[in-house]
């Protein structure tokens, strides 16, 4: 009973850590919307397989583009703020949108023009991370509020129910 009084603390640590990462990504996403726009040109567009992971195949796009800022030329290969990897068909569709020679909008950091992206929006991985964070946050807050309202209550049953629920989801 006494050991379960602060059952939410280890879970809260992971919520806090994931929250910091998510807030950092949101900060970067918002910051990108303040970046300037220029025209660029695709100079390389291909699908690459990640050779480091043997358990399953996943691919990533290699899309390089050149752009100019104040008559100085830069080359970048960042599509989104974060890296993107997926199955072959998904990456192939993305790469097909950027054939070599295509003129594109490039969003660059006015304070560091080497930093640039082609897409300023979320990709699926960032959306899923945000969804996981807010799901974990809601469970954490529910547990915290439960402990505050029912001070001294035995929440080991609640912890067991949550553990079973999470195990069932992951199976």
Cα–Cα distances (Å) from 139 to 53, 80, 95, 133, in that order, read 33, 30, 39, 10
Q: Domain spans of the chain?
A: 8-27+126-170, 36-119
Q: How confident is the model at residue 64 (pLDDT cuts 50, 70, 90)?
A: very high
**Six-digit token pair at 36?**
């300037």
Bridge partners of 60, per DSSP, are 48
Q: Is the pLDDT of residue 71 over 80?
A: yes
User: Rounded to 5, what percent of the chain is helix, strand, coil?
Assistant: 45, 25, 30
CA dihedral 85→96→116→82, nearest 10 degrees, is -10
The closest alpha carbon to 129, from 9, 28, 34, 10, belongs to 28
Scan for tokens 């979320």, then name that residue.
Answer: 122
Q: How confident is the model at residue 111 (pLDDT cuts 50, 70, 90)?
A: very high
- Spell out the CATH class of 36-119: mainly beta
Residue pLDDT, tens place only, 132-158: 777 777 777 776 676 666 666 666 776
Averaged pLDDT, 109-122 = 88
CB 66 within 8 A of CB 74: yes
CB 110 within 8 A of CB 35: yes
Q: What is the pTM of this model?
A: 0.61
């Amino acid at each position: 009973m006494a050991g379960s009084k602060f059952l939410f603390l280890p879970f809260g640590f992971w919520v806090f850590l994931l929250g910091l990462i998510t807030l950092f990504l949101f900060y970067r996403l918002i910051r990108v919307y303040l970046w300037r726009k220029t025209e660029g040109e695709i100079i390389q567009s291909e699908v690459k397989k990640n050779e480091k992971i043997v358990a399953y195949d996943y691919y990533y796009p290699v899309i390089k583009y050149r752009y100019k800022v104040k008559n100085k030329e830069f080359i970048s290969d960042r599509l989104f703020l974060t890296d993107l990897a997926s199955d072959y068909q998904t990456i192939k569709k993305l790469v097909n949108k950027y054939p070599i020679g295509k003129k594109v909008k490039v969003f660059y950091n006015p304070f560091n023009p080497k930093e640039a992206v082609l897409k300023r929006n979320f990709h699926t991985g960032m959306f899923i991370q945000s969804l996981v964070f807010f799901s974990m946050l809601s469970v954490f807050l529910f547990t915290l509020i439960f402990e505050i309202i029912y001070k001294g209550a035995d929440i080991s049953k609640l912890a067991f129910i949550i553990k079973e629920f999470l195990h069932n989801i992951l199976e």
